[in-house]
Amino acid sequence: MLLADFGTSYCKLWDTTTVTPLLIPTKEIDQELKVDLATGHNGKRHATHYINELTALARGGSALIEAASYTLLDCGSRDIKFIRSDQGKIKNMGWNTECGASMGFTIELLERYYNLDFSTMQVPDSSFSVTCGVLGMSHIFDAVVGGTSEAEAVAKFVKGIALNAYNFAGSPETVYLSGGLCHNPLFVASFPCKVICLGRFVLLQGLKATYDGQRYS
Clarify whether residues 88 and 123 are in a common domain.
Answer: yes
pLDDT in tens, 135-182: 788 999 999 999 999 999 999 999 999 999 999 999 999 999 999 999
- CATH number at 48 reads 3.30.420
58 sits in which H/E element: helix 53-64
Clarify whether residues 48 and 106 are in a common domain.
Answer: no
pLDDT in tens, 52-98: 999 999 999 999 999 999 999 999 888 899 999 999 899 999 988 66
Clarify whether residues 46 and 78 are in a common domain.
Answer: no
Phi, psi of 4 (to 5 degrees): -150, 140
Residue 175 lies in a domain: yes
Mean pLDDT, all residues of the chain: 92
Residue 160 lies in a domain: yes
Contacts of 139 (CB under 8 A, 6+ apart): 128, 129, 130, 153, 156, 157, 160
DSSP class of residue 113 equals H
Q: What is the pLDDT of residue 97?
A: 66
- Cβ(55)–Cβ(206) below 8 Å: yes
Contacts of 32 (CB under 8 A, 6+ apart): none
Contacts of 142 (CB under 8 A, 6+ apart): none
E strands along the chain, which residues? 2-6, 10-15, 22-25, 35-40, 47-50, 70-75, 80-86, 89-96, 174-178, 194-199
Q: What is the pLDDT of residue 63?
A: 94
Domain that holds residue 89: 66-199
- CATH number at 160 reads 3.30.420.40
Measured in Å, how far apart are the chain's first and last C-alpha atoms? 17
Clarify whether residues 179 and 207 are in a common domain.
Answer: no
Q: What is the pLDDT of residue 126?
A: 95
**pLDDT above 60 (res 36):** yes
- Cβ(56)–Cβ(201) below 8 Å: no
Please tell me the total count of domains within the chain: 2
**pLDDT above 70 (res 101):** no
Confidence of residue 113 (pLDDT cuts 50, 70, 90): very high
Confidence of residue 131 (pLDDT cuts 50, 70, 90): confident
